[in-house]
């Protein structure tokens, strides 16, 4: 029973740390841009996910 609780706690801890953040790039230049700029022109931007560095 204790092992099951430990496994569940570890899984939850890893899921919290593994939440992906988005980064946005311009399709034309390949440079990173802000989220606001990406929302202004969604047809010329793409987003990728990255994990936090923790």
Residue 25 predicted with pLDDT over 60: yes
The helix or strand, by DSSP H or E, that contains position 52, with its residue range, turns out to be none
The pTM of this model reads 0.50
- Residue 54 has a pLDDT of 55
The helix or strand, by DSSP H or E, that contains position 38, with its residue range, turns out to be helix 35-40
Q: Which of 2, 20, 30 is nearest to 10 (CA)?
A: 2
- Residue 1 has a pLDDT of 79
User: Mean pLDDT in the chain?
Assistant: 77
Rounded (5°) CA angle 29-54-45: 20
Of residues 39 and 48, more confidently modeled:
39
């Amino acid at each position: 029973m204790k092992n099951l609780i430990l496994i569940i706690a570890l899984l939850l801890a890893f899921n919290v740390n593994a939440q992906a953040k988005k980064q946005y790039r311009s399709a034309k230049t390949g440079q990173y841009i802000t989220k606001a700029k990406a929302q202004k022109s969604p047809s010329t931007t793409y987003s990728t996910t990255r994990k936090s560095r923790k």
